[in-house]
Structure 1
Amino acid sequence: MKSVYKKILILSLVIIAVLVVLKLSNDNFKKQKISQFTIKINTQGGPELVTEEEVRSLISQGYDSLTKREVGEIDLEWIENITRTNPFVSTVDAYINIDASLSVDILQRKPILRVFNTKGETFFIDSDGKMLPLNKGASPGLIVTAGDISERYLPSQQYQYFDSVSFDQARVLTTMHKLYLIASEISKDNFLSKLITQIYVDDNSHFELIPVIGDQNILLGDVDGLHIKLQNLHHFYKLGYKTINFSQYKTFDIRYHNQVVGVRKIFETEEPKKENDI
């Protein structure tokens, strides 16, 4: 029995000794000066919308010189919160490495749509459905939308993504929410994202797509069954462009279930027929 107590006592002393060493080690670590400060920005394959200089400027509001500060003085949560005030920052992770270096990893937002509303405002919607202010670096290659869009720019506004939308759901969604869903589906398709350059809004339930090739309008209708409609359009352009003379058509209609309906152009003849011509 004494042997058991002795083993427990020894084990307890070892644990206490380890805890003391860890505490002293942690205290010593906290007293170390920050050895290096690095910022990594993941642009998600897009243009740079957040710069190192901008991030350093934000953090300098609380820390004039990080490399002169001790590890224990650094408030990582504050650094993350102040960095998030940049509207183009999606997520941020600040941490201190074992060598006392400070790292800030940033995931940049990815704009997918540029909006021109009827109020004279222009702004972006990103892949997470969030409204973003204008940034010159983000404009090239983005889908542009205009028409009957009355919703104003609200920095706090963020729309929810839906995998599918029923007819009843489509009736209650706002125009901007629908535009986000359309742009999101297009941006996920490598072929369509290169084909479609504009979305025109006739009204809340009638949307038109403008392709980069040809002079046709594509009638999308509402967002119910959106994924299937765009899938049909993808296959139609990819497979039909070699066999169909697209120049003969003024409109392609994808509003109907599993169909792409082409409306031909009307060409006037040089000499109109007379009534008695056969």
Structure 2
Amino acid sequence: MRFKRILKYLLFVVLTISLGFLYGFSSKRNFNKKVTNIVVEFEAGDNNFLSHSMVNKLLIQNNETIQNQAKSVINLYGLENNVLKNPYVEKASVFLTVDGTVKAIVKQRTPIARILNEKGSYYIDKQGVKVPLSDNHSARVLLVFGINNDKEINQIKPLISAILQDDFLKKEIVSVQKFGEDEYQFSVRSGGYKINFGKLTELDIKFKKLKAFYNKTFEDKTIQNYKTINLKYHNQVVCAK
């Protein structure tokens, strides 16, 4: 019995050493393998600002392409950060596959509005992150004038979201202008009149009043009789011809 226990122990030790050797040998071979391919995939959505070749150029290490470099020297964290530094990238994941392919999955930022002021112009996405204009693509989004800093961007985000969540308002309102003491005015697609929205309070109530007014004036075809539609006053729409 004692001999059998010793034999089992020796077999266990030999098996463990063999497995360790095979694992080490396999790991060494795997780490010495070179990067054979680079694959870039974009998540579903509008992918207009970045191309596969543009992301490929971000997947560099020590100022060199990672193609044909050993897998053991690839810094995936560094590569991922390189991609995330691009202002058009919202999320990125970079990883190595068993066959030596470096794969990058990228989600591009989606502009929701274009800010225009005396200093220039840029897009913002739904988080309020600034996105530069691109030579590759011009996004058809809501135009916003008179916004000059991050605080004002955060203030106007709920208004932009409310417009974009409503199919009618999204098509009808083409630009928003901020004036002096946090007063806002809209330009619209259906005519030359302006909508004075006032301050960014009671958004739901004001938009319900506007849509009710639209329903009536579109039906009787009187909407073009007005130069301004004022939503600033409680429970009423005041118009000027």
Distance 1:209 1:35, change over 3 A: same
The one-letter amino acid of 2:39's match is T
* Richer in strand (by share): 2
Which residues in structure 2 correspond to 1:80-229 (within 5 Å)?
80-117=80-117, 119-147=118-146, 149-151=147-149, 174-229=151-206
Work out the CA distance in 2 between the residues paired with 1:114 and 1:74.
38
Query: Is residue 43–residue 108 contact of structure 1 (8 Å, CA) maintained in 2?
Result: no
Question: SS of the counterpart of 1:129?
Answer: coil
Contact kept, 8 Å, 1:76 with 1:95, in 2: the verdict is yes
Contact 2:231 2:238 in 1 (8 A): no
Q: Deviations over 1:95-125 (max 9, x none)?
A: 11232211111111111221222x3322221
> CA contact under 8 A between 1:249 and 1:262: conserved in structure 2?
no
Residue identity (%): 22
Deviation at 1:194, TM superposition (A): 1.8
CA contact (8 A) 1:236 1:260 kept: no
Question: 1:60: Cα distance to partner?
Answer: 3.3
The 1:255–1:85 alpha-carbon spacing in structure 2 relative to 1, beyond 3 Å, is: same
Q: What displacement does 1:242 show?
A: 4.6
State which drifts further: 9-18 or 184-193. 9-18
2:182 paired with 1:243: no
Q: Which runs of 5+ in 2 are unaligned?
A: none
> 2-side partners of 1:113 and 1:129: how far apart?
9
Distance 1:263 1:86, change over 3 A: same
- Contact 1:41/1:50 (8 A) holds in 2: no
Q: What amino acid is the match of 1:32?
A: K
1:33–1:40 CA distance, 2 compared to 1 (3 A): same
Matched AA of 1:97: T
Structure 1 unmatched ranges of 5 or more: 152-156, 158-173, 266-278
Output the amino acid matched with 1:48: N
Query: Hey, what's the Cα distance between the residues in 1 that align with 2:66 and 2:177?
Result: 49
Written as runs of structure 1 = structure 2, the 5 A alignment for 1:3-82 is 21-42=22-43, 44-45=45-46, 48-60=48-60, 62=62, 64-82=64-82
The offset of 1:71, in angstroms, is 1.5
Distance 2:30 2:211 in 1: 58
How far did 1:185 drift?
A: 2.8
Q: Give the 3 Å change call, closer, same or farther, for CA 95–247 of structure 1 in structure 2.
A: same
Distance in 2, matches of 1:235 and 1:14, equals: 80
What's the secondary structure of 2:103's corresponding residue?
strand
User: Structure 1's 235 and 29: CA in aligned 2 closer, same or farther, altered over 3 A?
Assistant: farther
The separation in 1 between residues aligned to 2:79 and 2:68, in whole angstroms, is 16
Once residues 101 and 85 of structure 2 are traced to their aligned partners in structure 1, the CA distance between those partners, rounded to angstroms, is 23
For residues 256 and 19 of structure 1, the distance between their equivalents in structure 2, rounded to whole angstroms, comes to: 79
Report the alpha carbon displacement of residue 12 of structure 1 after superposing the two structures with TM: 8.7
Alignment of 1:253 with 2:230, yes or no, is yes
Local SS of the residue matching 2:82: helix
Tell me the amino acid that sits aligned with residue 30 of structure 2: F
8 Å CA contact 2:92, 2:105 repeated in 1:
yes
